[in-house]
Amino acid sequence: MSLRKYIGTIHPRAAVVLHDLTMAALAWWIAKDLRYAMIPDEALGFQLLEFPLVLLVQGLVFTWTGLYKGLWRFASLPDLWNILRAAVVGAAITGLVLFLYGRLDGVPRSVLLLYPVVLVVLLGVPRLAYRFWKDSRLDLFQTQQVKRVLIVGADPAGEALSRDLRRDGHFSVVGFVDDRPSLRGASINGHPVLGRLEQLPELTHEAAVEMLLIALPGATTSEMRRVVELCDGTGLPYRTVPRLEDVVAGRAQFNEIKEVAIEDLLGRDAVELDWTAIRESLMGRRVLVTGGGGSIGSELCRQVACLGIASLTVVEHSEYNLYRISQELRSQFPELLFESILADVGDPVAMRRLFASQRPQVVFHAAAYKHVPMLQGQLRSAFRNNVLGSRTAADLADEFHAECFVLISTDKAVNPTSVMGACKRVAEIYCQNLNARSQTHYITVRFGNVLDSAGSVVPLFREQIRSGGPVTITHPEISRYFMTIPEACQLILQAASLGKGGEIFALDMGEPVKIRDLAEQMIRLAGKKPGTEVPIIYTGLRAGEKLFEELFHPLENYSATTHAKIFLAQHREVAWELLLALLAKAAEAVTVFDEDELRRCVSSLLPAFRWSDTAQPADVISIRRNDTK
């Protein structure tokens, strides 16, 4: 075997140990040589076992201090502290061992003082030199691809990002911008803090910046909107690091650079939750999630799986969605007792068999059709799934003595103008009135649109922008409430823990967002100009579509709860016998596909509901939005 191949077979750790022991021996020799060089009359000499004892002691101390857990590539102050500690402790123990061995014969006391100083230098300098060489080495073939970047935010996240970029070699950090006065003229990792955020346009021009990196993981949504607006004004591409909640939830890595998402600008500040109450309401219980492969259902599955539940059963009628969430949950929660059931909530036989075998204690009913324009002309399908499917699940929860049944509803159920909203309102009515006749607690949770859910406006706009436009909006003044999927699910869990049965909880959706503003912001995030590079056209309100959504009916006297973002509406009673009779008649109409009779049943259940197959002119629609603050 050649020397080159032999060296290649040595484990890197073994090479480090060999280096450090060699340095220890050299440090001992240099310390003694320096001592005897100061007194020429004395001759330098070593005892028989002097070097072996020094190396034995020092090697054990190196191991004890954890010196070999650190990598030279990332040598830093903690490594230097370990070296200093190992040198001082090693010198003290070496002196004691040599005293016991030979009464320190031939070892002057000054050697024990010189030795740790020399050892720190011999161990620290190679490590720091290696890191400096690694950090400063540039790939000669990629020197033209190095991009000059300016980091927005000089917090620890920005400092860590600058170190990562230096190691990457493809980016050159020209400095930081930060609004804190205490950082004026400061230098971080050798990079200056150049100024305030308002100075971005001139600073980027003066420093020939090619890209902006936003390192503000703890920024509020309003702060993030301001930063993005300033970055937009420079005309440069920009990226960001993930939000803290995404890092904590495992959805992103800490210093991962990503494009700014619309969720970063429209989501709200982090929600404060009573996780103790949520955990107590679910811990040790058998949980069933219907529609568990959808946007809301799948996120509910992810969140409840972390809360110490006894088992989780997911019902989903989409084979692919069920496969996807099943693979994810089994991979991330291998200890979870998990069942995936391919079934339709509108299939009473399959659902009865499921409830009988699983005996769920908590049911989250998220299965529903939700696409408003599509359902507008398909009343039978909407009623069968959103009403009769909900009734089947609710009845079985009562029959098999579930503790809690949570109906996931929508703001479109308030003063409904669409088939989808009307069907969800009928499901609400049934669950609210069933609560008074059951030991199961029936709870309804309403909220508006969730960002990036399947079939929502965000993925539609994203695809339209990707194809160059046009982006289609029904009306320039149309607005909607938005929240992120994780936030919606967290508040659903919180509402479920608050509920005692029969409540309608409405989630505080914040301020409504104009769809026009949403589209323009998404176009800018894609690096294009709205109206010119990507045109926007208005197509007119569709059948059943509102300009504004509502969270409460005027007759629902709502009140605050113990959670600031959850409101309680007082539900309206309906004669139980009449409700059952109308639902029975509607179910028969579904069976024989008699949509005219089905319309009459829905009109009897919701007298204020007005059918429309075409939208009214936008300028004559005026729907009041109740203030939820």
Contacts of 132-136 with C-beta under 8 Å, sequence gap 24+, read: 134/73, 134/167, 135/166, 135/167
Contacts of 282 (CB under 8 A, 6+ apart): 304, 307, 308, 309, 362, 493
CB 173 within 8 A of CB 151: yes
Query: Which SS3 state, helix, strand or coil, does residue 510 take?
Result: coil
CB 186 within 8 A of CB 162: no
Active site residue 529: no
Catalytic-role residue among 32, 370, 412, 546:
412
N residues, the chain: 629
Nearest to 246 by CA among 254, 238, 236: 254
As a whole number of angstroms, the distance between CA 109 and CA 116 comes to 13
CB 433 within 8 A of CB 248: no
As a whole number of angstroms, the distance between CA 243 and CA 151 comes to 16
As a whole number of angstroms, the distance between CA 214 and CA 454 comes to 28
- 153: exposed, middle or buried (C-beta count within 10 Å: 0-12, 13-18, 19+)? buried
Strand duo 479-480 + 362-365: pairing: unpaired
Instruction: List the structure tokens of 97.
Output: 């061992």
The tokens 């161990």 sit on which residue? 123
Q: Which residues of 251-282 are buried (b: 16+ CB within 10 A; e: fewer)?
A: ebeebebeebbbbbbbbbeebebeeebbbebb
Active site residues: 412
